[in-house]
Each structure stands twice: as structure tokens, then as C-alpha cells.
């Protein structure tokens, strides 16, 4: 996709395919991952993802080692995000939850995402948790 080249990352193929086919859920979904309960309210469209990434980049101004790519959110506007470390822009290292009151700099412990914020390692695992 063109916007992926503008952002310098490759979205996971399973995510891109799923969003292209299904779009947004019609209702709030609830799921459990590793014993933690999560809520999923909506997914961003591809154009909204690009806007959200640019908004984060404007906020942090290059002060983080990687790229945060929000792709969905819950009813409290906490964002589910892919994280691409600087050395690997082709595959995200997983999915973490960025709190609505947290700036991106609040999620790092050094150059790594704080362990307690990680939700899962892949979009397929994420999606499976919200399947009914």
C-alpha cells in the first residue's frame, strides 16, 4: 500500500486483508488474552491509521526508537498499536495498549515497550481473542 511506504513500515498481511474485507465491528467486542480482559470498540481505517501515526510522530519528534502504529481502540480511547523497532520495519514486534492519557514516551522502558503494556504477539492472536 502506498501509505505504508510513506510511513516506512509494512502492516501485517493478515491485518491488511482482514480490515479490507471486514472493516469495523458493528458492536463493542470483549476478549481475554493471557488472563487479561480487553475491550475492542473500533478499528481505524487505513487513512486514519496514517493520520494517527503522523500525530504520534509529531508528539514525540523522533525521541523513540521505532514506529508506533495505532490500528484500533476501546471505548476509553486506549489504542491498540503495532510497534516496529527501528531495526525491523517489515514486521511489528507485537501489539501493545497505549493508554488514552499516556504519551508515547510513557510506554517505554529504555528503548523497549514496558512489558506490562504488551497484549499479544500477532494480529491473528489478537483477533482470535475477540472472536465470538
How do residues 11-65 score in pLDDT, each as one tens digit? 999 998 988 888 777 788 899 888 889 999 999 998 899 999 888 877 766 667 7
Distance between CA atoms of 113 and 52, rounded to whole angstroms? 18
Give the pLDDT score at 77. 93
Give the pLDDT score at 90. 81
- The backbone torsions φ and ψ at residue 108, rounded to the nearest 5 degrees and listed phi first, read -100, 145
- Chain centroid to CA 21: 19
State the average pLDDT over residues 86-112. Answer: 83
13: closest CA among 100, 122, 114?
Answer: 122
How far apart, in Å, are the Cα atoms of 28 and each of 43, 112, 130?
Answer: 11, 30, 10
Report residue 42 as a C-alpha cell.
Answer: 473500533
Give the pLDDT score at 40. 92
Residues linked to residue 112 through DSSP beta bridges, in sequence order: 109
Give the pLDDT score at 104. 64
SS3 121: coil
Rounded mean pLDDT of the chain? 86
Diameter over CA atoms, the chain: 40
State the average pLDDT over residues 74-80. Answer: 93
For residue 88, is pLDDT > 70?
yes
Q: Are 61 and 79 in contact (CB under 8 A)?
A: no
pTM for the full model? 0.90
Give the pLDDT score at 63. 61
Amino acid at each position: 500500500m502506498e501509505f505504508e511506504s510513506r510511513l516506512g513500515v509494512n502492516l501485517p498481511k493478515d491485518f491488511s486483508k482482514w480490515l479490507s474485507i471486514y472493516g469495523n465491528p458493528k458492536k463493542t467486542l470483549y476478549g481475554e488474552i493471557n488472563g487479561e480482559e480487553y475491550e475492542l470498540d473500533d478499528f481505524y481505517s487505513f487513512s486514519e491509521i496514517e493520520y494517527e501515526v503522523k500525530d504520534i510522530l509529531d508528539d514525540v519528534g523522533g525521541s523513540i526508537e521505532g514506529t508506533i502504529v495505532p490500528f484500533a481502540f476501546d471505548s476509553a480511547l486506549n489504542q491498540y498499536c503495532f510497534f516496529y523497532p527501528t531495526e525491523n520495519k517489515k514486521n511489528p514486534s507485537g501489539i501493545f495498549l497505549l493508554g488514552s492519557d499516556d504519551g508515547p514516551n510513557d510506554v517505554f522502558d529504555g528503548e523497549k515497550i514496558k512489558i506490562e503494556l504488551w497484549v499479544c504477539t500477532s494480529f491473528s492472536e489478537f483477533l482470535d481473542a475477540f472472536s465470538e
